[in-house]
């Protein structure tokens, strides 16, 4: 089975300052994902938003056009770009009324 994986590092946690965040997306088979998870777990901190199992819900999906325009602008560091986004807003914090 193939799954799409998004690797995003929070550079502030490792004391590196970066102007723009960048994500690289890969399509990998399950055995490679298990191997990668084991290797990265020894050097990277878990996401502070994750539950006790290291998981959390995804509330936003981003899409691109057939030319991968958004991905190319993201890699180049362009901060202002058009995004195709679907966001789930069913869990509204109490502070919003």
Predicted confidence at residue 75, as pLDDT, reads 83
d(CA 71, CA 78): 10
More confident residue, 93 or 54: 54
Nearest to 7 by CA among 23, 27, 29: 23
Closest CA to 7 of 51, 50, 42, 47: 47
Once rounded to an integer, what is the mean pLDDT over residues 67-89? 79
Q: pLDDT of 8-22, one tens digit each?
A: 444 444 444 445 556
Q: Global pTM?
A: 0.34
Structure token pair of residue 95: 């502070």
| Residue 48 CB neighbour total at 10 angstroms | 8
For residue 56, the SS3 value is coil
Determine which helix (DSSP H) or strand (DSSP E) holds 39, and give its type and residue range.
helix 30-41
| Mean pLDDT of the 56-63 span | 79
Q: CB–CB of 87/59 below 8 Å?
A: yes
Is the model more confident about 37 or about 21?
37
User: Higher-confidence residue: 50 or 18?
Assistant: 50
> Once rounded to an integer, what is the mean pLDDT over residues 64-79?
83
CA distance 14 to 31: 28
């Amino acid at each position: 089975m193939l799954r799409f994986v998004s690797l995003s590092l929070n550079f502030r946690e490792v004391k590196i300052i970066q102007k723009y965040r960048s994500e690289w997306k890969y399509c990998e088979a399950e055995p490679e994902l298990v191997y990668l998870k084991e290797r990265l777990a020894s050097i990277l901190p878990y996401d502070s938003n994750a539950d006790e199992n290291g998981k959390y819900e995804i509330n936003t999906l981003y899409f691109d056009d057939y030319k991968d325009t958004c991905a190319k602008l993201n890699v180049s560091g362009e901060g202002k770009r058009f995004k195709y986004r679907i966001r789930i807003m069913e869990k509204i914090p109490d502070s919003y009324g």
